[in-house]
Chains A and B, each alone.
Chain A
Amino acid sequence: MANIIKKGIFSKGLKLPENKISASVPIKKLPLPDKVLILLQQHFGEPCDPLVARGNKVKTGQIIADSDKLFSAPLHSTISGTVTNITKALNPFANNIVNAVEIAGDGEDNWIELKSEPIIKNICDRLNEIYINNLNDYLNTAEDNLQSLKNLWNRLIKAIDGISDDELIKRVKNAGVVGLGGATFPTHVKLATQKKIDTLILNGCECEPYITSDHRIMLEYGWQVLAGAYIIFKVISPETAYIAIEDNKEDAIKLFGRLIEDAGLEQKFKIVSLKSRYPMGAEKTLIKNILGRKVPVGGLPMDIGVVVNNVGTAKAVFDSLSTGVPLIEKVVTVTGDIEKPQNFMVRIGTPVIDLISCCGKFDAGKTKIIVGGPMMGNAIVDLNFPVTKAINCILLKHTVRIQESNCIRCGRCVNICPMNLMPLMYAAYAKNSKYEVLRDYYISTCIECGSCAYVCPAAIPIVAYIKTAKSVLTGYGK
């Protein structure tokens, strides 16, 4: 593995207890849900308008909502059945009420006809066969297999190179692929950028404790991730691509080293082994740590010539080309204080309760159900809440009630803040409803990573204050 780059820490970081208890549990397919609720805004940008009406029959993979705006991605039916209702639902990530389509399944899972490239599909089937058979012993594949693997990869890369950029972008857009790291930025917008991009970063850091979905994706769908990354690489044509993985996922680092060798992409793809610190996986800190560049306030990584994509996104991009399957399912970790923590491949729109009920007992009276990781996730009040494209973890966590006390100005929040802000000021001013002042303290730069509240000895819910202040301030702006 010659092409592994080790990186130290160039930004502030927090060492958290990892608690990745489901890291060794293979991804399991969840049985088809009886009904799904598909929120019509699961991405960053404009909401979609429904294309179906109550009573319509839909098939799996059929587009049910779309928007003609650029910052948007179409949504697909994730099961086959009947549209029972078009209603409104709360999206806890954006904290807004959005339209939602409710579909009752017929239990048959009838797919629409998928548009795939026959040549690529053929290669992929054979690649998959070899890799699946060798999954347990990936690193010691037999010599003859190795040669055929290299041939297959060669043919695959040639086939991808043969497809035009516009066609690839169109496919990604039609498949409704968005950033699966949590930000849900529409991927086709990233691909279609006119800016000069010199670096592609594939984000496999997964710095939040407990979550293991990206880790499992890298282990079980490794070659699809790499192939998807190559598609993105081909479209935006940067000079180098870095696969960023934290050093607590040694197996994934080894695997990707091997995969890159198989694919013969050593010249273009490099693996970066990063120290596991929180929030290493946040876009801005990741770029800072790998390249030493800083994303300007209010800017995007594209502005400094970088595109960051999650490993799950890369897999979705590849699926849209190889099999033509749109983004209708994703890997979700169910973990925490529950009997059997697991990783599931679930259809988007599945109620959270379906996932939890497959994981055994938990102490419901004192457990919080959190959508997302322990640092940035939101606790939910309704167990029928559906899985969206932004969700990669459902965490069950026992609550311990901590009494908030006065700020003692110890400066720990200032020291730890990855964005170099002064979180104690946010808490102090927001407490007294003086939100306007916080603009001067660059509150919009805050990424709400939760580091400040984690280290606060006075247990002040700084993030809650910041979120309140932000929503008040944006409300004033309108």
Chain B
Amino acid sequence: MENKEQAMKDKETKDSSFKNINDIADSSIDNNFNNDTAEDDVKNQSPDRLNKSRLNNKEVLLMSHSPHIWSGFSTSKIMYIFLASLIFPAASAVYFFGLRALWIIITSTATAVLTEFIIKKARKKKFVMDGSAIITGLLLALTLPPRIPIWMVAVGSAFSIAIAKEAFGGIGYNIFNPALAGRAFLAICFPVEMTSWYLPGSFGADAVTSATPLSESFVYEGSKAALYKNMFFGNIGGSIGETSALLLVLAFIFLVIFKIIDWKVPLIFMATVAIFSLIGGDDVLFQMLAGGLIFGAVFMATDYVTTPVTGPGRAIFALGCGLITFVIRKFGAMPEGVCFSILIMNGFTPLIDRYVWPKPFGFVREKVKVKAKG
């Protein structure tokens, strides 16, 4: 009975208001088509007659808008495929930096989900486990240095979700990439902890501190070829998830195969850095492999919510990221610029979307129209 009342209500709202289009759109309206006794009575009749006699009683039918089919490729599916691709850098993190990295990942992810849950409850909204909070937590964890105190990880993760994401209205409304915002927050609040790097595989009292390859104090004892090899496989100091170029490229291929990200964005981003490094006289291969460039280009610059929606817009975005990364690396006070370059370009996203549009099909410029009139 309740259903029926609801159905009547839905029917009433249909005419009165445009705003409630969703409420009426897919409302399953209860009806007594499935009346078992009615079926028994007319069992002996032919199926044709049966349908007609049942349908003729003015029943309420199901209503909805077109299209009536859906791809089924939902937001949570996208999120979980993205999450699957993050297994690659997470694996390299645990392999090179041990259990410590695992703890960072678990803390960050758990805090992110918990924070989202609490905030949704506080705002009296429905908590949907669509995987986006896990992604934010995991992405943040992978951009942190291996020896960061665990409580800082929790603070950063909570900031990511509470301030950078939910304060703007939740998924789809945030201006800045939550994970990067969390990382930037930690980098500003705890600059010492966020910049103490260690070589992989050295823990406890005999931990060997090491600069990231990008900082000025970085010295590598050995041949250049060995350095590139280590940087490619990930056996180098840096944030836990960003060191292994090999696994990041695998993750990139994975994401492109599943059509989750636009392959052009990471490539344009990195090509821009490469070209400017070449002009600036830097070691191009070194600039490519060092720091969080590949990680940022593959996972952060391709984030849907905080980047432009059109293909050309995304290309401009990637170009801007590459340019700012180069400028910060070359002239800035910080050794690494990927995080801030993406955050800065996030701020430009609404502007890019405002001006970079596809041309509508068969679009004729206004000028031509005026001429035709005159």
A-side residues, CB < 8 A to B, are 16-17, 209, 284, 288, 294-297, 299, 339, 353, 356-358, 360-370, 372, 374-383, 395, 397, 399-402, 404-411, 414-415, 417-422, 424, 433, 442, 445, 448, 450, 453-455, 457-459, 461, 463-465, 467-468, 472
B123 within 8 Å of A by Cβ? no
* Known pairs A365-B34, A375-B69; A399 contacts B363 (CB<8 A): no
| B69 partner, pick from A16, A379, A424, beta carbons under 8 A | A16
| B73 partner, pick from A209, A361, A457, beta carbons under 8 A | A457
* Known pairs A368-B63, A374-B67, A399-B64; A361 contacts B50 (CB<8 A): yes
* Known pairs A358-B48, A362-B51, A457-B77; A410 contacts B304 (CB<8 A): yes
Kindly list 14 other residue pairs between chains A and B, CB separation below 8 angstroms, not including A366-B28, A405-B75, A457-B71. A284-B361, A356-B51, A360-B51, A361-B47, A367-B62, A368-B68, A374-B68, A381-B63, A408-B304, A409-B307, A421-B361, A422-B358, A459-B70, A461-B25
**Residues of A contacting B173 in the complex (Cβ-Cβ under 8 angstroms):** 406
B246 to chain A minimum Cβ distance, whole angstroms, is 28
Query: Are the C-beta atoms of A408 and B63 separated by less than 8 Å?
Result: no
| B362 partner, pick from A296, A382, A464, beta carbons under 8 A | A296
* Known pairs A405-B130, A454-B67, A457-B78; A383 contacts B55 (CB<8 A): yes
**Residues of B contacting A376 in the complex (Cβ-Cβ under 8 angstroms):** 66-67
**Residues of B contacting A409 in the complex (Cβ-Cβ under 8 angstroms):** 172, 304-305, 307, 309
Between-chain CB contacts (< 8 Å), 14 pairs:
A296-B363, A360-B47, A366-B28, A368-B61, A379-B61, A381-B60, A395-B68, A402-B26, A408-B171, A445-B360, A450-B66, A454-B67, A454-B69, A468-B18
**Residues of A contacting B362 in the complex (Cβ-Cβ under 8 angstroms):** 284, 294-297, 299, 445
Query: Are the C-beta atoms of A406 and B170 separated by less than 8 Å?
Result: yes
**Residues of A contacting B364 in the complex (Cβ-Cβ under 8 angstroms):** 296-297
A244 to chain B minimum Cβ distance, whole angstroms, is 18
B54 within 8 Å of A by Cβ? yes
* Known pairs A296-B364, A375-B66, A399-B26; A411 contacts B304 (CB<8 A): yes
B43 within 8 Å of A by Cβ? no
B65 to chain A minimum Cβ distance, whole angstroms, is 4
**Residues of B contacting A395 in the complex (Cβ-Cβ under 8 angstroms):** 68
Secondary structure of the B contact surface, majority rule: loop
**Residues of A contacting B371 in the complex (Cβ-Cβ under 8 angstroms):** none
B56 within 8 Å of A by Cβ? yes
B303 to chain A minimum Cβ distance, whole angstroms, is 9
Query: In chain B between 317 and 374, which residues have their CB closer than 8 angstroms to a CB of chain A?
Result: 357-364
Cβ-closest chain B residue relative to A469: B18
The complex places the Cα of A288 from the Cα of B361 at a distance, in Å, of 10
Query: Are the C-beta atoms of B18 and A414 separated by less than 8 Å?
Result: no
**Residues of B contacting A406 in the complex (Cβ-Cβ under 8 angstroms):** 170-173
**Residues of A contacting B202 in the complex (Cβ-Cβ under 8 angstroms):** none
* Known pairs A284-B361, A420-B360; A455 contacts B62 (CB<8 A): no
The complex places the Cα of A370 from the Cα of B65 at a distance, in Å, of 10
The complex places the Cα of A219 from the Cα of B356 at a distance, in Å, of 47
B165 to chain A minimum Cβ distance, whole angstroms, is 11
B52 within 8 Å of A by Cβ? yes
The complex places the Cα of A363 from the Cα of B35 at a distance, in Å, of 11
B-side residues, CB < 8 A to A, are 18-19, 21-22, 25-26, 28, 31, 33-34, 47-52, 54-56, 59-71, 73-75, 77-78, 128, 130, 170-173, 262, 304-305, 307, 309-311, 314, 357-364
**Residues of A contacting B31 in the complex (Cβ-Cβ under 8 angstroms):** 364-365
A450 to chain B minimum Cβ distance, whole angstroms, is 3
**Residues of A contacting B357 in the complex (Cβ-Cβ under 8 angstroms):** 422
**Residues of A contacting B307 in the complex (Cβ-Cβ under 8 angstroms):** 409
The complex places the Cα of A382 from the Cα of B59 at a distance, in Å, of 8
**Residues of A contacting B33 in the complex (Cβ-Cβ under 8 angstroms):** 364-365
* Known pairs A410-B304, A420-B360, A433-B19; A357 contacts B66 (CB<8 A): no
The complex places the Cα of A424 from the Cα of B65 at a distance, in Å, of 17
B39 to chain A minimum Cβ distance, whole angstroms, is 10
| B65 partner, pick from A288, A294, A464, beta carbons under 8 A | A464
- 3 closest A-B pairs by beta carbon, nearest first, are A450-B67, A406-B172, A364-B33
| B128 partner, pick from A357, A367, A405, A454, beta carbons under 8 A | A405
Cβ-closest chain B residue relative to A452: B67
Cβ-closest chain A residue relative to B306: A409
Cβ-closest chain A residue relative to B173: A406
Query: Are the C-beta atoms of A424 and B75 separated by less than 8 Å?
Result: no
* Known pairs A375-B69, A433-B18; A408 contacts B305 (CB<8 A): yes
Cβ-closest chain B residue relative to A377: B66
Query: Are the C-beta atoms of A364 and B55 separated by less than 8 Å?
Result: yes
**Residues of B contacting A421 in the complex (Cβ-Cβ under 8 angstroms):** 358, 360-361
Query: Are the C-beta atoms of B172 and A407 separated by less than 8 Å?
Result: yes
The complex places the Cα of A295 from the Cα of B361 at a distance, in Å, of 8
A349 to chain B minimum Cβ distance, whole angstroms, is 18
Cβ-closest chain A residue relative to B132: A408
B53 to chain A minimum Cβ distance, whole angstroms, is 9
**Residues of B contacting A365 in the complex (Cβ-Cβ under 8 angstroms):** 31, 33-34
**Residues of A contacting B309 in the complex (Cβ-Cβ under 8 angstroms):** 409-411, 414, 422, 424
A28 to chain B minimum Cβ distance, whole angstroms, is 13
The complex places the Cα of A467 from the Cα of B363 at a distance, in Å, of 21
The complex places the Cα of A445 from the Cα of B364 at a distance, in Å, of 12
Interface centre among A380, A406, A463 (most CB of B within 10 A): A406
Query: Are the C-beta atoms of B55 and A397 separated by less than 8 Å?
Result: no
**Residues of A contacting B55 in the complex (Cβ-Cβ under 8 angstroms):** 353, 356-357, 364, 383
The complex places the Cα of A295 from the Cα of B362 at a distance, in Å, of 5
The complex places the Cα of A468 from the Cα of B51 at a distance, in Å, of 34
B71 to chain A minimum Cβ distance, whole angstroms, is 5
**Residues of B contacting A459 in the complex (Cβ-Cβ under 8 angstroms):** 70, 74
A179 to chain B minimum Cβ distance, whole angstroms, is 20
